[in-house]
Structure 1
């Protein structure tokens, strides 16, 4: 009989231990599930991506959310002499209350040849026109909305033809057209530096070397003949 009592006591202790283990696992699982449930909205939110697209032919900024059209605003774009930089950029800076011509918000882009961004304005009548020095102007109330929506790192695609306003390029020029010439010289094996859109000494040296090998005037200028030789225009 004593042996049986010990055996039953042992079984009782084992059952209690198993019950405690099941309760502990259940509570831990439930806590983890609750924690995951609380985190799920932020996880979903972190997966939201925004993309801004602008066509330099039309002064409109379009915002896409997870690849779907979300909102749009009328803007002002660069004049023919100071074009809005065509390219695939990112927002790398966000600032409030720059004031003056920059309005109430600034969203800076990583354009390598200058300071360009999307910003407000103290000239709301310019919206819908080609009136800026290259930046994208918005009404202050509109840029404040955009500022609150998009994070740093947002992709900004500016569509257009860098050679839409064809010009003779020379030392010191900057812009998407300069960058395009650099990229073509690089593809041809004449230019080895970064294509930053700045017509500097290495760019001019590469261009002259290209001109020599293609029997073009060695003037260090990109003229119509050079554009043709680089297969940038017909």
Structure 2
């Protein structure tokens, strides 16, 4: 009898988790946490040392996502803003990427080989983005050319929550 009760309790937890809007079967999940920060709701805070992206939701709370950050030689810090949002983006290597590897393709359109994944959120006037990835195993590492990679399910969730003009702070 105890085993049945334990199994029923376990099933209830699993069903609750699976039905939660923050849960993703594609891997990763935004978690809402207490977040002591004096920033407006909708502000994105990236903490590169933690490999985390926080979306301030207000009331001392934030959603937290696991990310990949730039390689140490490619990292940047400071303030920016969301300048554009793109669904199913085309990836075009930057001139510095092409200089390091001239064999890169001119571009890669939407699909499973696209390094930007399913969504791209452009930052400021430069080439940096928050985007999905075709390499989900890189999440949690310092692997990019300065952009912030997210699991595709996570970047789709963030994409729906954030607006063009939102402030972005990149911290160590």
Structure with more strand by fraction: 2
Unaligned runs of 5+ in 2: 1-39, 90-109
Tell me the CA shift for residue 55 of structure 1. 1.4
Gaps of 5+ in 1: 1-47, 161-234
The match for 1:105 is 119
Of the structure 1 ranges 63-72 and 87-96, higher mean CA displacement relative to structure 2 is found in 63-72
The within-5 A match list for 1:39-118 is: 49-66=41-58, 68-83=60-75, 85-98=76-89, 99=110, 100-110=114-124, 114-118=126-130
**Compared CA separation, residues 53 and 154, structure 1 to 2 (3 A):** same
Moved over 3 A (4+): none
Answer yes or no: is the 8 Å Cα contact 1:50–1:67 preserved in 2. no
Deviation at 1:120?
Answer: 0.2
Return the offset for 1:49. 3.3
Whole-Å Cα distance in 1 between the matches of residues 56 and 81 of structure 2?
Answer: 14
Check if 1:155 corresponds to 2:146. Answer: no
CA contact (8 A) 1:97 1:104 kept: yes
**TM-score (ref. length: structure 2):** 0.61
Match of 1:130 in 2: 142
Residues 79 and 150 from structure 1, CA distance in 2 versus in 1: closer, same or farther, beyond 3 angstroms?
same
In the alignment, the residues of structure 2 paired with residue 101 and residue 68 of structure 1 have an alpha-carbon distance, to the nearest angstrom, of 34
Bigger Cα Rg: 1
**Structure 1 residues 168-211: Cα deviation after superposition (integer angstroms, max 9, x where no partner):** xxxxxxxxxxxxxxxxxxxxxxxxxxxxxxxxxxxxxxxxxxxx
Q: CA deviation at 1:69?
A: 2.1
- CA separation of 1:67/1:155 partners in 2, compared to 1, >3 Å: closer, same or farther? farther
1:28-87 per-position Cα deviation (integer Å, ceiling 9, x unaligned):
xxxxxxxxxxxxxxxxxxxx831111112111111102363221110000001211x211
